[in-house]
Structure 1
Amino acid sequence: MASITITVGHDRASHLQDIKQAIETASRKARQGAPWERQKLRHDVIGVLSAPEVIYSLRHGWHFHIHHAFLTGETGNSEELGWWFVRRYLKYLASAGFTANIQSQEVSMVRDPRRFFTYLRKGVTRLAQDVWGLRKPGKLRDKHLYPFDILQKASGCKIMKSLWKEYADVMPGTRSCVLTRSIAVRLNINQDDDTAEVAHEHIVGQLPAPTWKVLVNRRKTNVILSLLEDRGAAAWQEICSLALTLAAEKSSINAVQTQDKIPTKTFEHRPSAAQVANLALHYKWHLTRKERNGEAIRIALDRERGHAVANGLTFYPPKIRDVLEIYGNEGVCS
């Protein structure tokens, strides 16, 4: 398996739509036609995984790029195939009027599959963390901004608001890390059902802008959105009432008719330090010796976080210092 990252020359005047379309089109064309079919046979290509990612640089503008994973059989040379693909990709970019140099593209063999797939899905993971409020927002002085960093700064800033609107107009429908039929068949795994279309026309209700802003600042939007997803439109009045409770709004909404307020603590998941430590001690025996130190605790926290996300709860992790103290020298050193 080889890791290939492709991009294109850009600056602050470049539009995200133009950059995205140029890269995706050139990448697609480079993997079509008789030359690609010959390479597939030569290198026993199993399939290609694609993970688009976009960040914004205050100096260089939109930076859209795609991380590819080229999977080949034992008789193939995925690194050689990767460089062949990059050269063909650059030709299609040039024919479309875009500039890029081969030094800006990356091809390397994958030595650690587990670490690589964490890297490959980092764009999606970052978005998920931002949506669920699991990461602190970036600062304007950062080297670059991720999409939800821009959204966080959009309130009161015309430039950031414009950037977020551009992102929201361009990126919907972008697919990432799709397991294609060819990969599924060769590796005997389930193919992704990537054909379902989701309609977004139905509006179940509305919240006042000040209420939503407070929910964003307090990182409670994940509770509202996950409840709506789980319980459906029929529960909107309850969910709307909870939104007002979480935002501590004194005003009322005509659409809210129920008098009962849902206790906020019902929608929180606060595992104790002892719970996380005991879970980590259980997991450490399933890890190799090199991975035990710290990895078990991370897995335990991920499991608790996953439970919160799956049930529409706001996750409050315990203090790591308390977890380590309970985990003790036995867990850390053995």
Structure 2
Amino acid sequence: MSVSDRLFDSFPDTSLTAQQAALDAIARDLVSDAAGAFGRAPDGRQAAGQARQGAQLDKRGVALTPSAKPEPKAEARGGVVARWKLKHTVAEILRDVTPPGKSTPGVCKCGTAGYQAEAVHLVRRGARAGVKGVYFCDSPWLCPSCAPRRAAERAERVQKVFDATERKGGAVVFLTLTVQHVKGQALADLKKLVMDACTKARQGKPWQLAKERYGITGVMVGPEVTWSPAHGWHFHLHVAVPMLLQGDWSSVVATAEEGGRWIVGRYRDYIERAGGRADDDAQDVQVMWRQEDLADYLAKGSGAWEVASAGATKQGKKGLTPWDLAARASATRYRALFAEYAAVMPGTRSCVITKTLADALGIVPEGDEDAPGVDEAEEDDVEVVGSVEPPRWHRLLRGGHVPAVFQAVEDRRPWEDIDRMMTALLDPPPPSHAPSAWEVAEHAKGTRHMFREAGEAVRAAIDREREQAARLGRHFEPPPLRRVLELVAA
């Protein structure tokens, strides 16, 4: 089973934070499984790794993967429902902020029927609901449904690089590059400052000399974004630097750390030249010996449901992920913040295997471009529950009803029930006007003197309520007549 498939198999229908935590646990499980393909580290690496077990890899309190492989989790349900609920919110935000005449982002169309599709098929993949024959936007930054798959793909690329580096006897240096930021700074400005400094640090003759000295084969860069009420946007980079060095393991570690520090120093210099500030103690350099630590950390860029804020808890600094901002979009403040994020991050690439890096390690280059389309692959383990005509499906999608339909599919309700539910969602009966027995009796008592019999007063009161329902365009539901008469006689 692929990493992508396993990542989708479990996702609890609980709070957003709990969902993220569960996803991170799954990701750690995946990379721990993959670590077996790397074989045992040489004795020197094993000893160095054991000495660091349990330690935090980020000096600012970011706790990474535990040494022990987590216990397998029972399959959870509801992840698809939660993601589609959030996708509907994201699409509504972006439709609202897109200027007239401009095309909305792909996530606003994600889930629509494929071109010339005759039907959209609701399916079950094990315990989770799904859909076939629809367009997917493939956005890792804006789409809660597509982002987990893209995150898994990024993790797989990191694994390939680490695998190739280890086969050649090298080490991977992991850098965290940050910049000092304050509340109110624009995300676009912070991103440009950090990205430009990181790029310039890897240019020119000094970089070429450093590559020779430290055996640098290239870099993989993973951006991450969070926001906090106290400090505003926090844009930073996780950078993996594979190095092929000679010597025993202790000397390799020492040289690799020196190379990492050299890159950090050069990055800080370019930040300062641009008018920013990047304190030395806010950067981090680690030589990775365990593949799962590297893959887990680098793959968690904010386009991955945060395989992210979930997996790394920043002690004392509770930042919100972009998905957290979208989930809070009922508040204007968070809606505007997500719109700002959506204007800046799409198109940002993460965990790319460049040709230079691939050639040095003997692997295939891989990019990180979006590849939207229609999933037409045949699947053996998919159960088709029922089919929906595209116009009807689009009404369900635009109305935000798809999560409810998916929940019914996961609950294994009969297709006839699901079909009736979809009809009710799209064409709900008009609201009822249902006065209570007490209300009708009180009106009858007030007009009793106008009629010879109490029953006539009650009948007039009921007719009055029926006319009120007609004026409102509502279905009239009269109260129990016996109860009304009892109240009038009391």
Q: Which residue of 1 aligns with 2:264?
A: 86
Q: Structure 1's 95 and 187: CA in aligned 2 closer, same or farther, altered over 3 A?
A: same
1:175 to 317, 338, 349: 349
Q: Which residue of 2 aligns with 1:10?
A: 181
More helix by share: 1
CA radius of gyration, larger in: 2
Following TM superposition, where does structure 1 have runs of at least 4 consecutive aligned residues deviating by more than 4 angstroms? 196-199, 262-266
RMSD (Å) for aligned C-alpha atoms: 3.2
* Counterpart amino acid of residue 106 in structure 1: D
Q: Which residue of 2 aligns with 1:328?
A: none
Q: Which residue of 2 aligns with 1:237?
A: 391
Q: Is the 8 A contact 2:300 2:307 kept in 1?
A: no
Instruction: Please state whether the residue corresponding to 2:188 is helix, strand or coil.
Output: helix
Q: Is the 8 A contact 1:43 1:72 kept in 2?
A: yes
Tell me the TM-score normalized by structure 2.
0.40
Q: Is the 8 A contact 1:71 1:78 kept in 2?
A: no
**Does residue 1:151 correspond to 2:151, yes or no?**
no
TM-superposed deviation, 1:108: 1.3
* Counterpart amino acid of residue 152 in structure 1: A
TM-superposed deviation, 1:116: 1.7
5 Å-filtered alignment, 1:100-139, equals 100-124=278-302, 126-127=304-305
Q: Is the 8 A contact 2:225 2:302 kept in 1?
A: no
* Counterpart amino acid of residue 324 in structure 2: D
5 Å-filtered alignment, 1:248-287, equals 265-266=408-409, 268=410
Matched positions, count: 217
Deviations 1:213-243 (CA, angstroms, capped at 9, x unpaired)? xxxxxxxxxxxxxxx8436xx9742532553
5 Å-filtered alignment, 1:170-319, equals 170-194=344-368, 229-230=374-375, 236-237=390-391, 239-243=393-397, 246=402, 265-266=408-409, 268=410
Deviations 1:133-189 (CA, angstroms, capped at 9, x unpaired)? xx8xxxxx982100010011012x121111111101111111111111122222222
Deviations 1:38-77 (CA, angstroms, capped at 9, x unpaired)? 0111112111110000101111111100000110113363
C-alpha distance in 2 between matches for 1:177 and 1:247: 31
C-alpha distance in 1 between matches for 2:281 and 2:307: 31
**Does residue 1:38 correspond to 2:209, yes or no?**
yes
Instruction: Please state whether the residue corresponding to 2:352 is helix, strand or coil.
Output: coil
Question: Which structure 2 segments of 5+ residues have no match?
Answer: 1-171, 247-251, 311-315, 377-387, 413-490
Instruction: Please state whether the residue corresponding to 2:236 is helix, strand or coil.
Output: strand
Deviates more, 1:42-51 or 1:178-187: 178-187
Instruction: Please state whether the residue corresponding to 2:259 is helix, strand or coil.
Output: helix
Q: Which residue of 1 aligns with 2:226?
A: 55
Question: Which structure 1 segments of 5+ residues have no match?
Answer: 136-140, 200-227, 249-261, 271-334
Tell me the TM-score normalized by structure 1.
0.58
C-alpha distance in 2 between matches for 1:119 and 1:197: 22
Q: Is the 8 A contact 1:70 1:78 kept in 2?
A: no
Q: Structure 1's 35 and 236: CA in aligned 2 closer, same or farther, altered over 3 A?
A: farther
C-alpha distance in 1 between matches for 2:389 and 2:298: 37
* Counterpart amino acid of residue 149 in structure 1: D
Q: Structure 1's 160 and 242: CA in aligned 2 closer, same or farther, altered over 3 A?
A: closer
Q: Which residue of 2 aligns with 1:166?
A: 340
C-alpha distance in 2 between matches for 1:264 and 1:33: 56
Q: Structure 1's 78 and 236: CA in aligned 2 closer, same or farther, altered over 3 A?
A: farther
C-alpha distance in 2 between matches for 1:263 and 1:23: 41
TM-superposed deviation, 1:193: 3.8
Q: Is the 8 A contact 1:58 1:143 kept in 2?
A: no
* Counterpart amino acid of residue 240 in structure 1: H
C-alpha distance in 2 between matches for 1:15 and 1:99: 16
